[in-house]
Amino acid sequence: MPLRRRGAPLRRHPSPPRGEPVRRSRAPDAFERLVEEALDGLPEPALRLLANVAIVIEDWPTADQAWVGTGEEDGWLYGLYEGTPIVEWAADQVPYPNKITLFRGPLEEDFPHPGELADEVRRTVLHELAHHVGMEHDRIAQLGLE
């Protein structure tokens, strides 16, 4: 199963030490509302593409997710697509769940202004959706979603 990351990071930060509380600039439900708004703003055809994709919010990527997404254990990810892109589905293939994970910590640290955070959450959702439909990073960058 190919695994994807949300673009090249703007800057690199170390992952927070294990066991320490995660600092948040917003209440957890506020971030979830931003994700819901980003999804609600998608056109109907895009929503149909996401019908079989779980949208998950995590505070930080695990070391494995960071490695897959960036090639570094402490890589800085905003989102990660895990699954089989639609263009690779086959009739004889056993369907595995597809998942888009959005990482609250990196997004909130890099985009502390509420308007910028909302814009970046939307960009990240679109970026990961693009991977779900089979787009590679070069094409995603051409669309301005890198």
Per-residue pLDDT at 9:
39
Spans of the chain below 50 pLDDT: 1-22, 26
Per-residue pLDDT at 117:
96
Distance CA 101, CA 91 (A): 26
Q: Give 88-144 as a DSSP string.
A: G--TTSPPPPEEEEEEHHHHHHH--SHHHHHHHHHHHHHHHHHHHTT--HHHHHHTT
Domain positions in the chain: 25-142
> pLDDT per residue over 23-47, tens digit each?
555 455 899 999 999 999 999 988 8
Per-residue pLDDT at 39:
94
Per-residue pLDDT at 141:
77
What is the pTM (predicted TM-score) of this model? 0.74
Contact criterion met (CB below 8 Å) for 115 and 38: no
Per-residue pLDDT at 11:
39
Per-residue pLDDT at 18:
43
Distance CA 80, CA 62 (A): 11
Per-residue pLDDT at 51:
83
**DSSP state for residue 2 in the 8-state scheme:** -
Contact criterion met (CB below 8 Å) for 9 and 124: no
Question: Is the domain 25-142 a CATH 3.40.50.2000 member?
Answer: no
Q: How far is CA 20 from CA 16, 104, 105, 110, in A?
A: 7, 16, 13, 19
> pLDDT per residue over 12-21, tens digit each?
344 444 444 4
Tell me the two tokens of residue 32.
Answer: 């979830």
